[in-house]
Chains A and B, each alone.
Chain A
């Protein structure tokens, strides 16, 4: 009699091998079924992701424009500084100084060169060094505010409310939370920012009332948590 136990082990190995292609097919089918069942959620997430990316792109584009404008506005004093530097030193800032000299002439080519050189002037760096992140964000908010004035977009309004709240400009945050809430009163975030801004401005009671009013109509763990924090004085 041969070793039946060893034979059984071989049989198990054979079964595993035989089932392998089937299990791959089953996993594939499960993935397809899961996709079909959650198609709406998945496509919504994908579209949200791209919307967010798009928004970020638009904001950064607008921000670049603003930065250029700021640079232009400070060109004159900077050049003056450069001129002083020029008079004091012989060879240190010749390159950055040159465009301003050319600017004074009427040569159109030189003007063109000036513009190009102007962008290369380290003034921008100096500006950015002096500006902190919050200034940049405030500039972004200004851009978005301008855009809101054109489009009256709910998402822009909410973005402004969130942005100003982050910047601790609570009055503005309160204003934009109200605006965004008027555009979409089911927006929980606008309620929360409005309440938080009220509280931050010292009116905790008003903040609590806002949250209570919201919780009467809706159930929200976030709002409940915030209300508890305000009530317990931890906000």
Chain B
């Protein structure tokens, strides 16, 4: 009975050894379902990480692009500022902005009391005509007025001053007396030229006219021209 123990034990040891080795090979060779799943998950994670890194690269690229654009705009900033200033100046010259400043305000009205005193006289002699306003505005321009308005209508290069029946048309807007002419400029110079021209004539013929000078502290406000400039026949030469 005793003699078989040792050989069989020996063979058993070898079988155990071989079994364990083979098991190890097999374990490393074919992954279990869990391991396969893990591998799939690891693959997914790796893919996502790759994706993240590509997106991060893209973000970095876009950031660099933004920076270059910002640099470019910074270099254009001065040009833009210069052009904006030019535009602002051009708008001021064209009368497209609200302005304020020192100046003079003239009020003209029909000579109603004079007409009452002389009912048989020609009434045309007692009302303000468009020529009166036109003359005053021309004189104001001569006095280097920088901005002029009549009853809130800004006088620009295309503004007309024309009699239409018993009203006056300025910027295609009908105006009725009393007329209020505002002009921004040197008040003293404007006053001087006013008193030597049409205004003085009206005053001497009994029209109820008056003027008021405005200083820096209480500036005169003149609104912008609200119409449009149309050039249908004019092109740049």
Partners in one complex: no
